[in-house]
């Protein structure tokens, strides 16, 4: 039976379950809902959903389109999940990822009275104490938060990002439902292990709750400011901590020009080519030097200041590369530069996460074709975005999953190259990428780096050697005292158990009905007891009960569609 932690059974969740499943059925996913056997797991006395017909207009749409429309109708949590999946073409098929990129937050602004209450509850102070002025009309509104122009008592112009009231409770309920559905998909749909639905929901939970924690975003913003102290090409907004908390973020208001406002850039004598170079240099420095990079550098998140200075906005989506990930990246890039298909194959198999057995000869052939397509290509024809997209297609084809931050890195580079080429049609990311890769590779083979790796390896083995005797002693103790256990988990048998349970119940009902009919018939032959119209009342009563139970059983069988 599904544990309580898997499906929250309070009334609000059950109503939301009905709504979610109803929308999925509406958009043509009723066959999947039926396979999940959701009614059995919720143990309701009546069906939570009833399968219906799908309109002809919806039937003509592709499955990715129907799923995208269902997500939009289900609201913020599902829209955010779709947006996350659109950045992970290694997890889902490409046609789904492309369709999910069309998802947009379509929500009206929260009335300012609710925003005022949210701010005052966060700081336990009146809004007049916190701000000299705050504009009631938001300058942006999304499904998670909305942004207002404000002014502090010190006279500084700021922007205040406020979490939508009640969004945490909505997310908690929807994530409970998504977790329960993912669990059922894992159990009942044989092909689900290719996509790891429970892992996706787990990653989404971590991602969305980090995104709505504005204290964390404030600290991340300050980290970007710290790592940019030695360069003049970037400006990071200042965080005002007296007006910042878990649900409110207050940042310096920076006046700048939108990176795609080419007329304004020309009027302010800002050089588009230099802007493209600065954007590339900044992002590559974040990735390859600091390991902390902006994960969503789309045009709406970039302002241009005098002197072609770059200002990234919204640090809710960031990527991190630790030393191990950077080493994997360096080794992979080195293997590509050396056209070493065997080394690339080894790195893909042992650095990524495999979801099924791999056809190694076919994968090696595709890698060689991939290298040949790009190796001798003239620089002016080189497209980094297409290269990364083709490489991710190979990962997707063979169901190889890499760490989310590496996929986010690829998305950030593709997005940045698209923005930069709008500014400078001759822009080529490889020109900026190549010297940094060479420097990264040189660093990896330097004596200092090798010494540090050997030292870390020595510490790891030292810890292993110290722990090994204790672990062996514990293992032998458990074996000697018959406490050694191996947990086995059966998969895919719940549906069989459910069907056997239903079948045994129907057989039991049939036996009871047959017994009532036989018993009533015997009573009818006795002519004893109270009589009605010349027949024994007890016999008539038995026939009525048998008829009622038989009719109910027949209806249940017909509704199940399995005669």
Question: Contact 131/116 with Cβ under 8 angstroms?
Answer: no
pLDDT tens track for 375-384 = 666 656 666 6
C-alpha distances in Å from residue 337, one per residue of 266, 324, 371, 393, 558: 39, 20, 9, 20, 65
Most confident range (mean pLDDT) of 20-34, 94-108, 246-260, 534-548 is 246-260
3-state secondary structure 434-449: HHHHHHHHHHHCCHHH
Residue 465 or 125, more confident: 125
pLDDT band at 332 (very low <50, low <70, confident <90, very high): confident
Residue identified by tokens 């909505």 is 170
- pLDDT mean over 299-323: 88
Phi, psi of 388 (to 5 degrees): -65, -40
User: What's the half-sphere exposure (Cβ side, CA atoms, 13 Å) at 288?
Assistant: 24
pLDDT band at 9 (very low <50, low <70, confident <90, very high): very low
Q: What is the pLDDT of residue 216?
A: 93
Name residues whose C-beta falls within 8 Å of residue 245's C-beta, 6 or more positions apart in sequence.
122, 123, 214, 215
pLDDT band at 484 (very low <50, low <70, confident <90, very high): confident
Q: What is the pLDDT of residue 488?
A: 67
Least reliable range by pLDDT among 96-105, 241-250, 290-299: 96-105
pLDDT of residue 51 exceeding 60, the answer is no
| Rounded Cα distance, 118 and 112, in Å | 10
Q: What is the pLDDT of residue 149?
A: 95
What DSSP string describes 231-268?
-SSB--PPB-GGG--SSEEEEE----EETT-HHHHHHT
User: CA quadruple 225, 226, 231, 232: dihedral positive or negative?
Assistant: positive
Query: Which strands form 309-312's sheet, in the order they lie side by side?
Result: 257-258, 302-305, 309-312
pLDDT band at 2 (very low <50, low <70, confident <90, very high): very low
Element containing residue 273 per DSSP (H, E): helix 272-285
What's the gap between Cα 203 and its chain centre?
A: 6
| Rounded Cα distance, 509 and 555, in Å | 13
Most confident range (mean pLDDT) of 84-93, 423-432, 535-544 is 423-432
Most confident range (mean pLDDT) of 46-55, 310-319, 385-394, 469-478 is 310-319
Q: Sort residue 441 into left (φ over 0), alpha (ψ -120 to 50) or beta.
A: alpha
pLDDT of residue 335 exceeding 80, the answer is no
Rounded to 5°, angle at Cα 47 from 43 and 53: 145
Both structure tokens of 353: 């996460």
Question: Contact 429/418 with Cβ under 8 angstroms?
Answer: no
Q: What is the pLDDT of residue 460?
A: 78
pLDDT of residue 373 exceeding 60, the answer is yes
Residue 267 or 18, more confident: 267
Percent of the chain whose pLDDT exceeds 70:
84
| Rounded Cα distance, 238 and 249, in Å | 11
Both structure tokens of 371: 């290298």
pLDDT tens track for 388-412 = 777 777 877 777 777 778 778 888 8
pLDDT of residue 7 exceeding 50, the answer is no
Both structure tokens of 219: 């600290």
Q: What is the pLDDT of residue 80?
A: 84
Q: What is the pLDDT of residue 131?
A: 95
Q: Rounded mean pLDDT of the chain?
A: 80
Most confident range (mean pLDDT) of 408-422, 436-450, 486-500 is 408-422
Percent of the chain whose pLDDT exceeds 90:
20
Residue identified by tokens 């038995």 is 542
Residue identified by tokens 């991710």 is 392
| Rounded Cα distance, 321 and 447, in Å | 22
pLDDT tens track for 65-119 = 888 888 888 888 888 888 878 877 667 777 888 888 888 666 788 899 999 999 9
Both structure tokens of 93: 């098929």
pLDDT of residue 5 exceeding 50, the answer is no
């Amino acid at each position: 039976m599904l544990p309580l932690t898997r499906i929250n059974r309070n009334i609000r969740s059950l109503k939301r379950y009905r709504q979610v499943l109803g929308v999925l059925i509406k958009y043509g996913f009723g066959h999947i809902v039926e396979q999940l056997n959701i009614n059995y797991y919720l143990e309701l006395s009546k069906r939570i959903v009833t399968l219906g017909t799908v309109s002809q207009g919806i039937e003509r749409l592709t499955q990715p389109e129907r799923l995208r429309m269902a997500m939009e109708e289900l609201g913020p949590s599902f829209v955010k999940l779709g947006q996350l999946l659109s950045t992970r073409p290694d997890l889902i098929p490409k046609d789904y990822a492309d369709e999910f990129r069309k998802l947009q937050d379509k929500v009206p602004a929260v009335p300012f009275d609710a925003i005022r209450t949210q701010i005052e509850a966060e700081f336990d102070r009146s809004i007049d104490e916190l701000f000299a002025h705050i504009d009631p009309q938001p300058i942006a509104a999304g499904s998670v938060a909305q942004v207002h122009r404000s002014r502090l008592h010190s006279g500084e112009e700021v922007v205040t990002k406020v979490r939508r009231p009640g969004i945490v409770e909505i997310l908690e309920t929807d994530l409970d439902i998504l977790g329960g559905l993912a669990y059922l998909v894992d159990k009942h749909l044989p092909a689900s292990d290719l996509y790891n639905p429970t892992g996706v929901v787990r990653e989404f939970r971590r991602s969305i709750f980090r995104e709505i924690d504005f204290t964390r975003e404030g600290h991340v913003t300050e980290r970007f400011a710290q790592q940019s102290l030695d360069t003049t090409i970037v400006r990071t907004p200042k965080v005002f901590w007296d007006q910042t908390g878990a649900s409110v973020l207050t940042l310096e208001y920076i006046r700048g020009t939108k990176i795609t406002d080419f007329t304004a850039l020309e009027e302010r004598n800002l050089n588009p080519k230099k802007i493209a170079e600065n954007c590339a240099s900044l992002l590559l420095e974040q990735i390859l030097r600091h390991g902390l990079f902006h994960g969503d550098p789309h045009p709406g998140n970039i302002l241009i200041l005098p002197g072609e200075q770059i200002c990234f906005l919204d640090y809710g989506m960031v990527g991190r590369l630790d030393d191990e990930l950077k080493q994997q990246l360096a080794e992979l890039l080195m293997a590509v530069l050396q056209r070493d298909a065997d080394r690339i194959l080894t790195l893909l198999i042992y650095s990524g996460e495999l979801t099924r057995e791999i056809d190694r000869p076919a994968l090696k052939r595709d890698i060689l074709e991939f290298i040949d397509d790009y190796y001798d290509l003239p620089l002016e024809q080189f497209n980094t975005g297409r290269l990364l997209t083709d490489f991710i297609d190979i990962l997707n084809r063979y169901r190889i999953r890499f760490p989310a931050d590496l996929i986010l890195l690829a998305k950030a580079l593709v997005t940045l190259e698209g923005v930069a080429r709008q500014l400078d049609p001759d822009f080529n990311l490889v020109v900026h990428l190549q010297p940094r890769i060479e420097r990264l590779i040189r660093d990896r083979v330097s004596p200092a780096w090798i010494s540090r790796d050997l030292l870390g390896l020595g510490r790891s083995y030292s810890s292993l050697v110290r722990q090994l005797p204790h672990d062996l002693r514990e293992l032998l103790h458990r074996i000697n005292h018959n406490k050694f256990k191996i947990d086995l988990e059966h998969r895919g048998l719940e549906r069989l158990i459910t069907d056997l349970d239903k079948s045994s119940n129907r057989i039991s009902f049939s036996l009871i009905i047959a017994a009532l009919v036989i018993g009533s018939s015997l009573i009818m032959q006795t002519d004893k007891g109270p009589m009605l119209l010349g027949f024994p009342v007890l016999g008539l009563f038995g026939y009525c009960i048998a008829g009622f139970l038989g009719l109910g059983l027949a209806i249940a069988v017909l509704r199940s569609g399995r005669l």
